[in-house]
A and B are shown apart, each in its own frame.
Chain A
């Protein structure tokens, strides 16, 4: 193993109440793509934070050997100096600033304290070419999608002469095209000698791209698999990750949906009051009792806008025409509170931005949408709250030492489970799930799917927005496809296929009938 660029030896790290890493061994060869996989909370992000100096030397046990020498990073700046760059799932970017400013923020090209903008833009252009991104460097990045921003983040890393690139779930928020592009770029960088460590829950892409795969479970290294000939299968990884076989990741459902309509959306047309642009056109959609309906489409097709406008987020959306009814009752939600009172719940796609209150504990987050269930007189019954939150945490298998853990400190997947659990506590009739399995591991996905089945069997209805075609196909009774703010097709599950959905998802207004 003398061509190893990195060796992490016997790494242990604990947080109050949590042993996040327990004697992890992790070794990466030069110029390979090394995938790090494991269940939510297995310790992947923590390991990478140790490597990049976020958790400084002294806060963990064990040794890091990088380029043949032991390193003791105190800050991110130290690891950057050594040629290590980490790209987080939550991009730390400045939306109002331009592409080139974002690339060179923190290490401007300057002489005598004066920034050389021409040179900056020149260099930015070269870097953009290197990541194969065709955008105007002067454009503010807020106009760019997540996929492109991800590439800009990589360009930023390249501008610092990176030798070891760490990507923590970079593709979780990307659609298939953008992911493919990103992975191609990693292969290219590999040719140029850049080593990459990739954390991902998308096992399909892991087996395609990885040269080596390391599996973590409960803070320990389970195994390191050589994938030089692409010989590892998804099933192998899953077995190591969860410690047992999962036969069918989409569990079968025992009960069929009824014919009774629960959610009925008619002629829904919405404009954005700020720009006056029409964002949703004439949407007709219904969900029956006990049914899971998939809503497929590319990023930006208007699926989130549809849910938010239905959910009563009125200041952001202006309704031009349309009505909704829930279980036969018309609802006119002017505020999410109205929609919730009628039995609607919406699990947002971005749990950190608008799903969870990160600075509060699990209990606070679980009950905040349904405090009325806990009120005796005018007072919250905290004992009842503690008991019920505790049960819900167990039921949903949220991994944390207790309900008093701050949500900020949970791993990504456990945060996601918390944001779903919060809505289950409100006992809605109709649940809208926006990308419910983004960033969560196979085991947890399976749990969420099983839960969805249980809920619809008990009579709830689910509208599931998802960019993962396999998930839409695997879970839905019926599928709607959206493109450019309108519904371009409806397919029963039996007739749907990846090709048909993609065809509908890329259809534009002009060529729809």
Chain B
């Protein structure tokens, strides 16, 4: 078979061809492909409305809370647990943040308070799961009830709590300040600068990583494939920058997602804690016998999940500028679906938060696009459910090969 000969050649040359690259990363590329197809289909169906700078900005703002939840959920799913409570934890703490804002607290006081409350909730659930060994499914299902109840309590007096504070609203609706507008009403300068910095960063880190792989004789992609990858990545960043800059600039939501993503990606890939998380997901018994404190790591992962749920709660409340008794309903499904679409293995042990973000974009593009098209909510649920199941089935099949 030419197939095996080709693989041998790729080895002796020490590089992977473009085709090889695609073949080895079907899972990741399939996800990008789905996203691209969604963009094109919705772009055409809405006569370009979907792709307008304004809607893309909207899409990012809508994705914010799901992306944050999904990053935490990815960690949970890697260690083979699940957290069903995140939606109502977000709803409840969002309502608390709204109440505190209306009592005259400043945003800088509310933010840490809510995050700490989130951590406390996570510690309670993490304790039950890791120490008492109540299955995560049960613990967090109970959590769903408890925090839904608490959300109803907090909103009982006034129903919807409206927040008028500008800084709070800006969090999920505002944009980074502009130094200047190019040519009067033109592009947003600071955004362009950040985009430029992003492009430089992409090029520098990619080249450095490639040099490193060369140095340690790690199997690497061929120069042609590398060039294609570089061009693709830089033009993607350039495109996004241009789109955002031509509207109102970089939304704060993107900044928040960026920080959370960077932090979790760093922890998962560069620190012992991250390694331990993957080890536990891969083989819990082996991890334990390698000296990893499985209980402690599980506890930490649950605590961090609810912290992110708290952040998501604030973002969602800020987005609507109000807390409602129904906030948080179904968020856990969006988060779990994003993680799975982003390539977390159903059997645990494998997953990348960077891909989870793409998963979140897929889910939210569906929501956004179908909303623009005026698709009835009932159909939206069905479509999302089908996509979710297809993603997981595809994953299971491609992994069993």
Residue of B nearest to A369 (CB): B290
Please name all residues of chain A whose beta carbon is closer than 8 Å to the beta carbon of B8 when the two chains form the complex: 14, 19
Most chain B CB inside 10 Å of its own CB: which residue of A61, A357, A358, A382: A357
Task: Check B198 for interface membership: any CB of A closer than 8 A.
Answer: no
- Nearest CB on B from A318, distance (A): 17
Task: Check A404 for interface membership: any CB of B closer than 8 A.
Answer: yes
Please name all residues of chain B whose beta carbon is closer than 8 Å to the beta carbon of A364 when the two chains form the complex: 275, 278-279
Residue of A nearest to B349 (CB): A359
CA distance A102 to B345 in the complex (A): 29
CA distance A360 to B278 in the complex (A): 9
Task: Check A371 for interface membership: any CB of B closer than 8 A.
Answer: yes
Task: Check B219 for interface membership: any CB of A closer than 8 A.
Answer: yes
Q: Tell me whether B270 and A404 are in contact (CB under 8 A).
A: no
Q: Tell me whether B290 and A368 are in contact (CB under 8 A).
A: yes
- Chain B 252-295 per-residue mask, 1 if CB under 8 angstroms from chain A, else 0: 00000000000000000011100110110011011111111100
Task: Tell whether A357 pairs with B349 under 8 Å between CB atoms, given A364-B278, A379-B271.
Answer: yes
Residue of A nearest to B216 (CB): A386
Q: Tell me whether A16 and B7 are in contact (CB under 8 A).
A: yes
Most chain A CB inside 10 Å of its own CB: which residue of B271, B289, B290: B290
Q: Tell me whether A358 and B283 are in contact (CB under 8 A).
A: yes
Please name all residues of chain B whose beta carbon is closer than 8 Å to the beta carbon of A355 when the two chains form the complex: 286, 289
CA distance A371 to B279 in the complex (A): 12
Q: Tell me whether A336 and B290 are in contact (CB under 8 A).
A: yes
CA distance A357 to B349 in the complex (A): 9
Residue of B nearest to A335 (CB): B293
Q: Tell me whether B282 and A359 are in contact (CB under 8 A).
A: yes
Task: Check B44 for interface membership: any CB of A closer than 8 A.
Answer: no
Task: Check B218 for interface membership: any CB of A closer than 8 A.
Answer: yes
Task: Tell whether A14 pairs with B7 under 8 Å between CB atoms, given A336-B291, A359-B349, A359-B350.
Answer: yes
Task: Check A1 for interface membership: any CB of B closer than 8 A.
Answer: no
Please name all residues of chain B whose beta carbon is closer than 8 Å to the beta carbon of A299 when the two chains form the complex: none
Q: Tell me whether A375 and B217 are in contact (CB under 8 A).
A: no
Task: Check A499 for interface membership: any CB of B closer than 8 A.
Answer: no
- Nearest CB on B from A55, distance (A): 11
CA distance A380 to B266 in the complex (A): 11
Please name all residues of chain A whose beta carbon is closer than 8 Å to the beta carbon of B378 when the two chains form the complex: none
CA distance A422 to B287 in the complex (A): 12
Q: Tell me whether B218 and A402 are in contact (CB under 8 A).
A: yes
- Nearest CB on B from A22, distance (A): 11
CA distance A399 to B22 in the complex (A): 27
Please name all residues of chain B whose beta carbon is closer than 8 Å to the beta carbon of A371 when the two chains form the complex: 272, 275-276
Query: Which residues 283-341 of A sit at the B interface, judged by CB distance below 8 A?
Result: 311, 313, 335-337, 339-341
Residue of B nearest to A390 (CB): B216
Q: Tell me whether B282 and A354 are in contact (CB under 8 A).
A: no
- Chain B 327-363 per-residue mask, 1 if CB under 8 angstroms from chain A, else 0: 0000000000000000001000110000000000000
Please name all residues of chain A whose beta carbon is closer than 8 Å to the beta carbon of B349 when the two chains form the complex: 357, 359-360
Q: Tell me whether A401 and B289 are in contact (CB under 8 A).
A: no
- Chain B 209-248 per-residue mask, 1 if CB under 8 angstroms from chain A, else 0: 0001000111100000000000000000000000000000
CA distance A364 to B290 in the complex (A): 12
Size of the B side of the interface (Cβ < 8 Å), in residues, is 32
Task: Check B207 for interface membership: any CB of A closer than 8 A.
Answer: no
Please name all residues of chain A whose beta carbon is closer than 8 Å to the beta carbon of B290 when the two chains form the complex: 336, 340, 368-369, 422
Q: Tell me whether B279 and A380 are in contact (CB under 8 A).
A: no
Please name all residues of chain B whose beta carbon is closer than 8 Å to the beta carbon of A31 when the two chains form the complex: none
Task: Check B11 for interface membership: any CB of A closer than 8 A.
Answer: yes
Task: Check A17 for interface membership: any CB of B closer than 8 A.
Answer: yes
Task: Tell whether A357 pairs with B216 under 8 Å between CB atoms, given A17-B11, A19-B8, A364-B275.
Answer: no
Task: Check A230 for interface membership: any CB of B closer than 8 A.
Answer: no
Q: Tell me whether B219 and A402 are in contact (CB under 8 A).
A: yes
**Cβ-neighbour of A368 out of B219, B275, B293 (below 8 A):** B275
Task: Check B4 for interface membership: any CB of A closer than 8 A.
Answer: yes
Describe A's contact surface by its main secondary structure: mixed
Q: Tell me whether A354 and B4 are in contact (CB under 8 A).
A: no
Task: Tell whether A313 pairs with B289 under 8 Å between CB atoms, given A14-B4, A401-B11.
Answer: yes
Q: Tell me whether A369 and B291 are in contact (CB under 8 A).
A: yes
CA distance A364 to B279 in the complex (A): 9
- Chain A 1-30 per-residue mask, 1 if CB under 8 angstroms from chain B, else 0: 000000000001110110100000000000
Task: Tell whether A357 pairs with B219 under 8 Å between CB atoms, given A379-B270, A380-B271.
Answer: no
- Chain A 58-87 per-residue mask, 1 if CB under 8 angstroms from chain B, else 0: 100100000000000000000000000000
Residue of B nearest to A401 (CB): B11
CA distance A371 to B336 in the complex (A): 30
Q: Tell me whether A353 and B285 are in contact (CB under 8 A).
A: yes
Please name all residues of chain A whose beta carbon is closer than 8 Å to the beta carbon of B275 when the two chains form the complex: 364, 368, 371, 380
CA distance A340 to B287 in the complex (A): 13
Please name all residues of chain A whose beta carbon is closer than 8 Å to the beta carbon of B397 when the two chains form the complex: none
- Nearest CB on A from B87, distance (A): 30
Please name all residues of chain A whose beta carbon is closer than 8 Å to the beta carbon of B282 when the two chains form the complex: 357-360
Task: Check A100 for interface membership: any CB of B closer than 8 A.
Answer: no
CA distance A423 to B242 in the complex (A): 52
Task: Check B157 for interface membership: any CB of A closer than 8 A.
Answer: no
Task: Check B1 for interface membership: any CB of A closer than 8 A.
Answer: yes
Please name all residues of chain B whose beta carbon is closer than 8 Å to the beta carbon of A372 when the two chains form the complex: 272
CA distance A14 to B8 in the complex (A): 8
Q: Tell me whether A380 and B270 are in contact (CB under 8 A).
A: yes
CA distance A14 to B289 in the complex (A): 34
Task: Check A348 for interface membership: any CB of B closer than 8 A.
Answer: yes
Q: Tell me whether B218 and A336 are in contact (CB under 8 A).
A: no
Please name all residues of chain B whose beta carbon is closer than 8 Å to the beta carbon of A348 when the two chains form the complex: 286, 289
Q: Tell me whether A354 and B212 are in contact (CB under 8 A).
A: no
Q: Tell me whether B217 and A402 are in contact (CB under 8 A).
A: yes
Q: Tell me whether B289 and A311 are in contact (CB under 8 A).
A: yes
Task: Check A248 for interface membership: any CB of B closer than 8 A.
Answer: no
Q: Tell me whether A404 and B218 are in contact (CB under 8 A).
A: yes
CA distance A337 to B345 in the complex (A): 28
- Nearest CB on B from A428, distance (A): 11
CA distance A383 to B216 in the complex (A): 8
- Nearest CB on B from A504, distance (A): 29
- Nearest CB on B from A49, distance (A): 14
Query: Which residues 177-208 of A sit at the B interface, judged by CB distance below 8 A?
Result: none
CA distance A102 to B158 in the complex (A): 62
Residue of A nearest to B270 (CB): A379
CA distance A386 to B216 in the complex (A): 7
**Cβ-neighbour of A378 out of B1, B271, B286, B287 (below 8 A):** B271
**Cβ-neighbour of B286 out of A313, A354, A387, A404 (below 8 A):** A354
CA distance A387 to B215 in the complex (A): 10
CA distance A402 to B288 in the complex (A): 26
Task: Check A462 for interface membership: any CB of B closer than 8 A.
Answer: no
Please name all residues of chain A whose beta carbon is closer than 8 Å to the beta carbon of B219 when the two chains form the complex: 17, 402, 404
Please name all residues of chain B whose beta carbon is closer than 8 Å to the beta carbon of A14 when the two chains form the complex: 4, 7-8
CA distance A402 to B286 in the complex (A): 22
Q: Tell me whether A61 and B1 are in contact (CB under 8 A).
A: yes
Please name all residues of chain A whose beta carbon is closer than 8 Å to the beta carbon of B293 when the two chains form the complex: 335, 337
**Cβ-neighbour of B272 out of A16, A313, A375 (below 8 A):** A375
Q: Tell me whether B272 and A380 are in contact (CB under 8 A).
A: yes
Most chain A CB inside 10 Å of its own CB: which residue of B283, B288, B289, B349: B289
Please name all residues of chain A whose beta carbon is closer than 8 Å to the beta carbon of B216 when the two chains form the complex: 383, 386-387, 390
Query: Which residues 112-153 of A sit at the B interface, judged by CB distance below 8 A?
Result: none
Nearest 3 pairs of A and B residues by beta carbon: A357-B282, A354-B285, A337-B291
Q: Contacts A335-B291, A354-B285, A359-B345 known; list 13 others, CB within 8 Å.
A: A336-B289, A353-B285, A354-B283, A356-B286, A358-B283, A364-B279, A368-B275, A369-B290, A378-B271, A379-B271, A380-B271, A390-B216, A404-B218
A–B complex contacts, Cβ < 8 Å, 6 sampled: A61-B4, A313-B289, A357-B278, A364-B279, A368-B290, A402-B218
